[in-house]
Structures are given as structure tokens and as C-alpha cells.
Structure 1
Amino acid sequence: MRFSRNATGTLFVGGAMALTLAALAYPSMLGVSTVSSSPSRVIAQTQWGPLTEGDRDFVVKVRAAGLWEYPVGQIGLQKGTTKGVIEASKHLVDGHAALDTTCRKIAPMLNITLPNIASPQQEGFVTTLKSDSGKKFDSDFANILRMTHGSIFNTVAKIRSTTKNSLVRALADQANDTVLDHITVMEKTGLVDFDQTIFQQTTPPKLPASDQTPPPPPAGQPQVVLTPPPNATSKPVDIDGIAGGNGGGGASPGPSPSPTVG
């Protein structure tokens, strides 16, 4: 399988990768008054260590990734035609539910506002896969997810090696394991076109920030929760243990339902 090289195909494939690689402008839309272009700039001193722009953006990225990859996993469970695609779909739902729990736990502790829906480009991936069927779905699913996870892998490693914040470090540890697992199960489908995937990974198009930015949640909107499957094997980080019992609040599911696939 090779990705479409026409304008529309390039927008979808490259667009999601650009979202994965680029620092999101999202936090500046939520009332952060001084935002520089430096990911190493410290924006807050916390009891768990300094929080940089890069740290904050990473937490938002992990949340945003789950908001589209979790529903895609649900779609894969319905539409996948091979055992490999079904298994990979299970890993998406399981892994991102656990990551989301960790994100929702640490975000209020670090005063980070999380999105409730993915960016327009991420939603475009969901729409594309909803419209696919049969072997085309299997192939697009494996290649799109392998590309996006391959792109974020280096970002996770950079945050893990540079952050001085213990909560962000714990999230990066979990994200590293989850992303590697998802890369592996996509490759095990036997459907990944490595030449084209790596090409898309390394040559993202330049796209407007508005297409790459999840909209801020309306005031008072219940937080969307990515509900773990009944047979979940992935677990969120023990934030209370890391925080010394001072991590109260932020992780309870609340009244909002988990995303569903229409």
C-alpha cells in the first residue's frame, strides 16, 4: 500500500504528522499571557519540579493523541478484517485509556487545561478511516498509525531525557512504553509500507496552526473520559505515589461519557 500523493491525501497524512511533531499553539488560546517559542522556557515552578513550555505541550499532545486514536481503535474493532488489525485496535483503546487517566490526573496539578476534542487534522483521520472499508481500511489504519506513532517516538524520548518535572517524566515513561507497543503491533499487521511511511514521517508539509490545534473546551463542559476496556492490561501511572500523596483531584472520571464511534 502507498499513501495517496494527491493534494487531499497529502494533507491528511502529512497534516496529522505535523500535529504530532510541532509544538501545539493550543495553550496560548487558554489565557496563557506570555508564550515564547522556546520549549525550554520555564512557565511555572511546581513542587514536582519546574514546568517548561515543552513539558506543558507534551501533556496536551498526549491527551490530544488519545482523543483521536482511541476512537480509531474502536473503529478498528468494528471494521478490521485481519487478526493483526483487530489486535492493534485493542492495543490502541487499552493504551490510550491508561495514558488519558494519567494526563487527567497530572493536568490540574500542573495547571494545564486539556482539550476535549482532537484537532481538525486529527479528526480528519477519524473521518477518513470511518469512510474506509475492507482491505483499504486495514492498510490505511496500519500505515497512518505507524507513521504517527513513529513521529511522536522521538518527541517522547526528548521530553523524557530533558524534563526536570517528575510528573511529566512519569507520563513520558508511560508514553514511551505505549508508543513503542503501538508501533510494534502496527508492524505486526504485515501491512506497513516502510518506504512511504518514513517518507511521510520525515517530510511533513507546513500547515496553519489552526488546523493543528484542538479547540479549547467551553466553560463548564464536562471532561471527556477515555474509558478503559473491561479487560484492560495497561495501567495509568501511580501519580499519588510519585506526588507523595499530594496528587488529589483530577483523575476521577466525572459525568461525561467515553467517546463513541458513530
Structure 2
Amino acid sequence: MTWHATGTLFVGGALSLTLVALAYPSMLGVSAVAGSQTRVVAQTSAGPLTEADRDFVVKVRAAGLWEYPVGKMALQKGTTKAVLTAGQHLVAGHTALDAGCRRIAAQLNITLPNRPSPQQQGFVATLSADTGKQFDSDMANILRVTHGQIFSTIAKIRATTENSLVRQLADQANTTVLDHITVMEKTGLVDFDQVLFQETTPPKLPAQDLTPPPPAAGEPQVVLK
């Protein structure tokens, strides 16, 4: 694994995939014109839906698509009780959160990805290759960084959205992410100095590496169970 100080993870070419980033306009690292995140893209019975609202729903979905399998890995590969507990929380938390996300997305007519972003796929590849104490440490630190980053996004959406369904998802995501931050810290493996630096340093990656690919036409929706 190469874990750069910028918070960017490069693993065996996993981040070199070419994807159609424009399928999700202004989402997850795709540059957008100033103010576009506040642009209303739909009027719904739950209230206006902005680009930021739509992007948030997709972010929640993408997070589950990689953190859920990492939780399953932790149950198989973790070497301490605290890491096994963290795995249980990842699996249970993202199963419930993904169900809420899919329900809300269907009501708001938001297309969800079936695969995480190339960067997130890189995290999974790294942890798949890890064994023993290295897995424990990498999982705790990678997940603590990513949860810390999304935590502030959840707060901003919850404070600004006018859509009641998006507020519901933000409430659920806030509870889930805080729980996951807590169980990562309880492993005793989090390097806080490095984690906090990585949380506040934007990744220097191409936009397509930060954007989950859109589902293929007719592709069945992946369900986390």
C-alpha cells in the first residue's frame, strides 16, 4: 500500500480506471461552476431537491458499497475483539443505511451507483491484500479518515437542505457515521495526527477517480444484506 500524506491511496493501478464522471454532474469531486450545488434540480413533494442534496444521496450509497465489504473482511480477518466489533458495526450500519438510501432515492428519482468510486475500490483492494495486524491498522485508519471527512458533509446538508427526505437520510447517516468513528477509535489503532492531517488535505486525484460509475442500462440494483 502507498498511503500518501495528501490522503490519496494508490494501489496497483486501481485508480487508473477511466469512467464517465459526467454521469453524475458536480458529484464527488467533479468540478462545477460556482453556486451550482445550490441549484434546484427538481421540485418534489418532500421539498426542492438541489444538486448538493442529490450528490449527498449518491455519496451515502457509494460509502456503503465499499465499507460494507470491508466490514465483512474485518469479521474474517480482524485479530482483536475491537476490530471484530468494528466490522459488525460496519455491516449492520451500512445494511440499514443503504436500505434507507435506496428508499429515498427511489422517491426522489435519483439514480444510484452499483459500484464505489475508483478511489474507494482502491481502499478495498488494499485491505483485501492486508493480513494480520496490518489489516487491523489500515482498516482503522482508512475508515477513520473517510468517516471524518463525510461527517462534516452530513452536518452541512442537514443544516441547509429544504428536502424532508434528505433530512431523514442525513439524520440516519449522522448516527451511523458517528457510531463508526467511535468503534474505529476504540480499536486503539488510530494515528490521530496523521488522520487529522489527511482529513483536512484534499486528495489530489482526477475527478473520475472520485466518482462512482453509473449503473449500466438494465443493471439490477445491488442490495446490501
Tell whether the structures are fold-level matches, with TM greater than 0.5: yes
Aligned to 2:224: 226
Identity %: 69
Is 1:108 aligned to residue 101 of structure 2? no
Alignment of 1:132-211 (within 5 A): 132-211=130-209
Gaps of 5+ in 2: 11-20, 27-31
2:123 is aligned, of 125, 128, 136, to 125
Give 1:170 deviation, angstroms.
Answer: 0.1
Aligned residue pairs total 210
SS in 1 for 2:42: strand
What's the secondary structure of 1:44's corresponding residue? Answer: strand
Distance in 1 between residues matched to 2:216 and 2:50, nearest whole Å: 25
Separation of aligned partners in 1, 2:7 and 2:92:
24
Q: 1:1-262, aligned counterparts within 5 Å? A: 8-10=2-4, 13-14=7-8, 26-28=23-25, 36-37=33-34, 38-227=36-225
CA distance in 2, matches of 1:15, 1:136: 15
For residues 172 and 25 of structure 1, what CA distance do their matches in structure 2 show?
25
Q: What's 1:19 paired with?
A: none
TM-score where L is the length of structure 1:
0.76
Counterpart of 1:226 in structure 2: which amino acid? L
User: TM-score when scaled to structure 2?
Assistant: 0.88
Give a deviation string over 1:179-235, Cα, whole Å, max 9, x none: 0000000000001000000011111232111111111111111100001xxxxxxxx
Change in Cα spacing, 1:133 to 1:13, as seen in structure 2 (3 Å) is farther
Task: Give the unaligned 5+ runs of structure 1.
Answer: 17-23, 30-34, 228-262
